[in-house]
Amino acid sequence: MIAFNHILLFGVGLIGGSLSLALRKSGYTGKITGIDRNEASLARARELGLIDEMARSTADAVGEADLILLAAPVAQTAPLLASIRPWLREDVLITDVGSTKSDVVAAAYRELGDRVGCFIPAHPIAGREVNGPDAAIDDLFAGKKLVITPLPENTGKDIEKVAMMWMQCDAVIHFLSPQDHDNVFAMVSHLPHLLSYALVDQVARHPNAGLMFQYAASGFRDFTRIAGSSPEMWRDISIANKTQLLQELDSYLAELELLRGMLASDDAAGVEAVYANAQQARLNWITTIEAAEKQGGTS
């Protein structure tokens, strides 16, 4: 069951709002308070029933909460932690949903000092390309991974409390180090986002943009779905994880230069070998994923 009685959400958009809906669906009867720098979003979240009340002040809301969840773009982690630090209860736990972890962990050490043990860094591998309270859905996390990157200062019991909350939302708990987390997601998430944004930007700035958008079809639509994501959120992620992201971007640039050379020299066999390796690897991946999903999402 859920160990918390009063949850405070910093950020009531897609992720914070979906967590709230999922918790209610699972039978959570405690209080959920919200804070958001966007007052219209906050009011809308109240209207939609994502939160029971809008916080009167940070001091009051933090002083009452036994779980604080940071669900704002990752660059706000440090200022948010600094702003809540003076009002934390003795028994509070703090967790987050940031798509990067090394920078979030560094911010936690810097801002929370001797209270860092109450911060359990986490990242739900779930999202949609739409944002805000109206995008929240109650099954966003169902069957999806929730990665916890624990600190040495965390107790097993506290980690379990946060894990249990996410398990109530039908998420599947995984553990990684912050560094492994950031390596992996630079490659399979942060780089694809950058590449997708870059392609749409190129089309939009093209002299023939109108004609091109007219003939763009389902392949383009899927390739660029993630370019519909929040620019601010992905700006923060790109900058926060830039060391890993630049490393994978450089590998990708080298891969493109290789393909460029093959095309320029009519090396059809070379081009086909790259394409075929990718096709086979993706097929293996999809097959593995589908097998895991049939087993109920455990892994």
Per rule CB under 8 A, is residue 76 in the interface with a second copy? no
Q: Are 89 and 63 in contact (CB under 8 A)?
A: yes
Q: Binding of a second copy at residue 102 (CB under 8 A)?
A: no
Planar angle of CA 119, 136, 129, nearest 5 degrees:
95
Neighbours of 188 (CB within 10 A): 11
| C-beta closer to a second copy: residue 96 or 236 | 236
Residue 244 CA: distances (Å) to CA of 74, 185, 198: 16, 9, 18
Alpha helices in the chain (DSSP H): 14-25, 39-47, 58-64, 77-84, 102-112, 156-168, 178-185, 191-204, 209-215, 218-223, 231-240, 242-264, 268-294
Please pick, from the candidates 218, 291, 295, 296, the single residue that binds a second copy as defined by CB under 8 A.
218
Shortest distance, CB of residue 262 to a second copy, whole angstroms? 9
- 177 lies in the binding site for a second copy (CB under 8 A): no
Please list the residues that pair with 87 across neighbouring strands.
none
Site mask, a second copy, residues 247-276, x = CB under 8 A? Answer: -xxxxxx-xxx-xx--xx-x-x--xx-xxx
Q: What is the DSSP letter of 125?
A: -
Q: Provide the minimum distance between the beta carbon of 43 and a second copy in the complex, in angstroms, as a whole number.
A: 24
d(CA 46, CA 157): 32
Comparing CB distances to a second copy, the nearer of 116 and 194 is 194
With CB under 8 A as the contact rule, which of the stretches 27-35, 53-61, 80-88, 141-149 interacts with a second copy?
Answer: 141-149
**Number of residues engaging a second copy in binding (CB under 8 A):** 93
Query: Looking at this protein, which amino acid is placed at residue 77?
Result: T
| Binding of residue 293 to a second copy (CB under 8 A) | no
Among 145, 148, 154, 293, binds a second copy (CB under 8 A): 145
* Distance from the first to the final alpha carbon of the chain: 22
196 contacts a second copy (rule: CB under 8 A): yes
- 227 touches a second copy by CB under 8 A: yes
The residue within the footprint of a second copy, chosen from 7, 35, 126, 136 (CB under 8 A), is 126
Distance of closest approach, residue 65 Cβ to a second copy, in angstroms = 30
The reply to whether 149 sits near a second copy by the rule CB under 8 A is no
What is the C-alpha separation between 210 and 207, in angstroms, rounded? Answer: 8
Residue 140 CB: number of other CB atoms within 10 A? 22
What minimum distance in Å lies between the beta carbon of 182 and a second copy?
11
Establish if 175 lies at the interface with a second copy (CB under 8 A).
no
